[in-house]
Chain A
Amino acid sequence: MATHESWHARDRGRRRQSGNGEAHGDGSLSRALGWFSIGLGLAEIAAPDALARLIGIPEDNANRRMLRAFGLREIANGVGILAQPQESGWVWARVGGDLMDLAFLGNNLRSEEAQPNRIAAAAAAVAGVTALDVLCGQRLAQENGASSSTTANRPWSRHIHVRQTVAINKPPKEIYGFWRDLRNLPRFMSHLERVEVQDDRRSHWVAKAPAGRTVAWDAEITEDQPNERLAWRSLEGADVDNSGEVHFERAPGGRGTILRVEMRYTPPGGVFGAVAAKLFGEEPQMQVRDDLRRLKQVLETGEVTVAEGSMALTHPAQSWPDQSRRIPSNAAEAGR
C-alpha cells in the first residue's frame, strides 16, 4: 500500500540522517578507550610483575593482587564501552578507575622499594588518559541529550522510541479531530496529566512521573495535514526532549481508520533522566499499545473499559477512576 511504503521510506530516511553514531568522532574515541581498557586489563592480569617493574612499584603480593583486581575492572569496563559506545556512563566509570589508579600509585610512593621517577611517569600517563576519558564522557553526555537517536529500546537505554498501530471503527476525520485537540490526549495516554493549548501551534504538556512528581515541556505542531498526518515536538528547555507523529489512514473496505503512531523520548542524564525514563514504565511499547487501546475504546464506546479486578488498574501509571467524578466526556472537562 502506498502510504505504508512511504511510512517506511520516511523512517529509513530518518534513520540514515541521524546515523547510528558509529561514524561519529566521539564514538570512535570511546571505542578506542574501550580497547585500551581491555588491553591494559589483560596486561594487569597476565603480567602483574612486569607491569609493576615498569611503573616502579614494589613486586609484592599485595600489589600483585591489586593489579589483578584492577585488571578485571578494566576488562569489564572495556567490554561495557564496546557494547555501548554511545553510553557516557561506561566512560565515566573509566574516570573512576583512573582515580583509583592514581590513588594506588600515590600510596606506593611511600614504600622503600618504590622508584619515584617511574611512578611519577606512570601517574602522568594515567592523568593523560583521565583527561581523554573526561573529554569523551562529556561529549557523549551532550550528544545523547541533543540527538534524536533511533536506538532501539534496551532496558538500560534512556532513549525511548515507540511505534504502534491501531484500527478504529471511525472515519479518519473524526479521529484526527479528536487528536488535534491536544487537550484530549490525557484521556488515553496514561503518562500525561494534562495538555494546555496556547495557540494554533503551541501547547504545554505535563506528564506524570514516579513518586508523584511531574515533568513538563512546551511543544509545537510541526506538521498538520488535516485528516492525514500530525506531528509535534518539544521546544527548548523541555524537561524531556520528545517528538511524535500520527498518521490517519483510511482502512480498506471503508472499515474505519488505521492509526500509526510514532513517539520518541530522549531524556537528559542525571536525576531527571532516570525519572523521565520511567514515563512509559518498564515496557514502552506495551504502554503505548494500551494507550491506543484506550483511544479506541473512548472513540468507539465513549468510555475507557474498566474492570474491578483488571490488572490494567494495577499498573503504576493508571489510576482508579474516581467514582464521584464523571469520566470526562470532552476535552474541556479533561483539561481541568
Chain B
Amino acid sequence: MKANCWHGKKDMRVETVPDPKILNAHDCIVRITSTAICGSDLHLYNGFNPAMQPGDIVGHEFMGEVVEVGKGLQKLKVGDRVTVPFPISCGSCLSCQRNLFSVCENSNPNAGMAEELWGHSPAGLFGYSHLLGGYPGGQAEYARVPYADVGPLKIPDELDDEQVLFLTDILPTGWMAAEQCDIQPGDTVAVWGCGPVGQFAILSAFLLGAERVIAIDRFEYRLRMAREKCKAETLNYAENDVHHTLMEMTGGRGPDAVIDASGMESHGLGLAGAYDRAKQAMMLETDRAVALRQAIMAVRNGGTVSVPGVYAGFIDKFPMGSVMNRALTIKTGQTHVQRYHRELLERIQKGEIDPTFIITHRMRLEDAPHAYQIFNDKQDECMKVVLKP
C-alpha cells in the first residue's frame, strides 16, 4: 500500500509499504477513506522527536471502513464505517476505566522508554514515534487498529467523511481544552494559537457558556477565521503587546481562563522569543514556551490555564511564582478522545457544530509532502489539509 513516511527533518515521502496485518485477536484493519495532517505532526516534520526512524508511517487523524476483524471482537463488524481515536486505549486498565484514555497503562509496548523521559508512560499513539509505541500511522491506505472494540466510533451513513473526520483528534481536543477551563456562564476566555485546535477551542468555549473569547495569533487569515466563523475577538501579537491589550480588554482583571493551543514550537517575537530560540539552539531547552508564559501571566487570579498544546521535554523560565502566588489551576493532557467523541458526534448530527469550516485544502495522499510544507509555512492560507488515499 501507499503510505506517507518520515525520512528526516522536513523530509516526508509517500512510498509503497507492506499492508498491515491482524496481529492480536482484538485488532481490526481499516481501509482509510480520509486522513488529515495535525499540527503536532509538524513537530515530527521539524525534527523535534528523536524517537523517529526513517520509514516510520505518520498520521493519527484517520477514518474509513473496517475490512478485517480479529477473532476476539464482539461489537465491530466488517463493513462498519468508523472514525479512529488517535490515542490507543485498552479499556480495561484503571486509567481507561477512569476515562483517562490518553494515559492507558497497557497500550505502549515501549513503555520503558517513555518512563525514562516522563516518569510513567502514557498511551501509545498512532504514527507518533517509537517513544509512544512505534505504531504505524494513518496517512496511508490501510491501518491496523488495536483494541478495536474500545476506540473506533461507528459513523452513520448520512454524514460525510469531512463532517466527522475531526472527531479523531482536533475537535475533541478543542472541546477538552475548553472543558478544562471550567467555564462559568459569562466568562472571558483567551486562546493562544488560531490553528485548527484553537478554532475548535474557541467554538467549544462559546458552547460551554463563555461570553467573550479572545483569539491571539499573528496570521491575519487565521484571525479572520476566528472572527468570522467562531465569533471571537482577535488580537494580533505582532502588532500589539498581548498582556497590555488583554488587561485593557478585561478592565485589568484578566481572562477567567486561558488556553495554550500553541505548544512547544511557540513562536515569539522580541526578546522572549529570541531567548527561547537561543536556548533551543544551544540544547539547553527542548521546548519553547512563549505562549504559555504569556497565558499564565495574563489569566486572572484564581483562574485556570488549559494546555492542549503539545510539549515534549522541558521548558525554561516557567513562572511558578505567578502560578502559586495567584492560586492558578493548570489542566492539561493529550485528549481523551474516547471520552468525548460520542457526545460531539451527536452535536454534529444536530447541527450544533459543523467542523468542515476549517478545511482549506483537499489533496491526494501522494501530495502529502507538499501539504506538510504549506501547512508548516502557513502558505496559501493553509489551515487544515484533508488527504484522500
Chain A interfacial positions (CB closer than 8 Å to B): 167, 169, 255-256, 286, 289-290, 293, 296-297, 300-313, 321, 323, 326-327, 329
Choice from B90, B110, B146 contacting A312 with Cβ under 8 Å: B110
Choice from A167, A300, A307, A312 contacting B92 with Cβ under 8 Å: A300
Q: Is B71 touching A293 in the complex (CB atoms < 8 A)?
A: no
Q: How far is the CA of A311 from the CA of B92 in the complex (A)?
A: 24
B130 close to chain A: CB less than 8 A: yes
Q: Is B110 touching A323 in the complex (CB atoms < 8 A)?
A: no
Q: How far is the CA of A305 from the CA of B25 in the complex (A)?
A: 11
Q: How far is the CA of A300 from the CA of B25 in the complex (A)?
A: 14
Q: How far is the CA of A301 from the CA of B25 in the complex (A)?
A: 11
Size range of the chain B interface in the assembly? 35 or more
Q: Closest Cβ of chain A: how far from B216's Cβ, in Å?
A: 37
Q: How far is the CA of A309 from the CA of B20 in the complex (A)?
A: 11
> Known contacts A169-B97, A293-B111: does B25 contact A303 (CB below 8 Å)?
yes
Q: How far is the CA of A300 from the CA of B105 in the complex (A)?
A: 10
Choice from A290, A297, A309, A311 contacting B135 with Cβ under 8 Å: A309
Q: Is B134 touching A301 in the complex (CB atoms < 8 A)?
A: no
Q: How far is the CA of A296 from the CA of B136 in the complex (A)?
A: 24
CB-defined interface of B93-113 with A at 8 Å, one 1/0 digit per residue? Answer: 110010000000111111111
A-B contacts, CB under 8 A, total:
95
> Known contacts A303-B26, A323-B23, A326-B25: does B92 contact A310 (CB below 8 Å)?
no
Which residues from chain B contact A290 at a C-beta distance below 8 Å?
111-112
Which residues from chain A contact B91 at a C-beta distance below 8 Å?
301
Closest 6 CB pairs of A and B: A309-B134, A310-B109, A310-B134, A312-B109, A300-B92, A307-B135
Q: Is B112 touching A289 in the complex (CB atoms < 8 A)?
A: yes
Q: Closest Cβ of chain B: how far from A168's Cβ, in Å?
A: 9
Q: Is A305 touching B130 in the complex (CB atoms < 8 A)?
A: no
Q: Which residue of A has the minimal Cβ distance to B57?
A: A309
Q: Closest Cβ of chain B: how far from A310's Cβ, in Å?
A: 4
Q: Is A305 touching B94 in the complex (CB atoms < 8 A)?
A: no
Which residues from chain A contact B90 at a C-beta distance below 8 Å?
297, 300-301, 305
B53 close to chain A: CB less than 8 A: yes
Most interface-central of B22, B109, B135 (chain A CB within 10 A): B109
Q: Which residue of B has the minimal Cβ distance to A306?
A: B23
Which residues from chain A contact B53 at a C-beta distance below 8 Å?
309
Which residues from chain A contact B113 at a C-beta distance below 8 Å?
311
Which residues from chain A contact B71 at a C-beta distance below 8 Å?
326
Q: Is B146 touching A305 in the complex (CB atoms < 8 A)?
A: yes
Q: How far is the CA of A309 from the CA of B55 in the complex (A)?
A: 10
> Known contacts A311-B113, A311-B130: does B22 contact A305 (CB below 8 Å)?
no
Choice from A256, A302, A308, A326 contacting B134 with Cβ under 8 Å: A308
Q: Which residue of B has the minimal Cβ distance to A290?
A: B112
Q: How far is the CA of A318 from the CA of B106 in the complex (A)?
A: 17
Q: Is A306 touching B109 in the complex (CB atoms < 8 A)?
A: yes
> Known contacts A169-B94, A311-B110, A311-B113: does B24 contact A327 (CB below 8 Å)?
yes
Which residues from chain A contact B56 at a C-beta distance below 8 Å?
309
Choice from A308, A311, A313 contacting B20 with Cβ under 8 Å: A308
CB-defined interface of B111-143 with A at 8 Å, one 1/0 digit per residue? Answer: 111000000000010000010011110000000
Q: How far is the CA of A311 from the CA of B136 in the complex (A)?
A: 13
Q: List 9 A-B contacts (CB under 8 A).
A: A169-B93, A290-B111, A293-B111, A301-B106, A302-B25, A305-B24, A307-B146, A309-B134, A310-B130
Q: Closest Cβ of chain A: how far from B356's Cβ, in Å?
A: 32
Q: Is A307 touching B93 in the complex (CB atoms < 8 A)?
A: no
Q: Which residue of B has the minimal Cβ distance to A287?
A: B112
Q: Closest Cβ of chain A: how far from B69's Cβ, in Å?
A: 14
Q: Is B112 touching A310 in the complex (CB atoms < 8 A)?
A: no
Q: Is A301 touching B147 in the complex (CB atoms < 8 A)?
A: yes
Q: Which residue of A has the minimal Cβ distance to B126?
A: A307
Q: Which residue of B has the minimal Cβ distance to A320?
A: B23
Q: How far is the CA of A297 from the CA of B133 in the complex (A)?
A: 14
Which residues from chain A contact B130 at a C-beta distance below 8 Å?
309-311
Which residues from chain A contact B106 at a C-beta distance below 8 Å?
293, 296-297, 300-301, 305
Q: How far is the CA of A306 from the CA of B22 in the complex (A)?
A: 11
Q: Is B26 touching A302 in the complex (CB atoms < 8 A)?
A: yes
Q: Is A296 touching B105 in the complex (CB atoms < 8 A)?
A: yes
Q: How far is the CA of A307 from the CA of B130 in the complex (A)?
A: 10
> Known contacts A301-B26, A306-B23, A308-B136: does B109 contact A286 (CB below 8 Å)?
no
Q: How far is the CA of A327 from the CA of B25 in the complex (A)?
A: 8
Q: Closest Cβ of chain A: how far from B345's Cβ, in Å?
A: 25
Which residues from chain B contact A293 at a C-beta distance below 8 Å?
106, 111-112
Q: Which residue of B has the minimal Cβ distance to A289?
A: B112
Q: Closest Cβ of chain A: how far from B98's Cβ, in Å?
A: 10
Q: Closest Cβ of chain B: how far from A254's Cβ, in Å?
A: 11
Which residues from chain B contact A311 at a C-beta distance below 8 Å?
109-110, 113, 130, 134
Q: Is B135 touching A308 in the complex (CB atoms < 8 A)?
A: yes
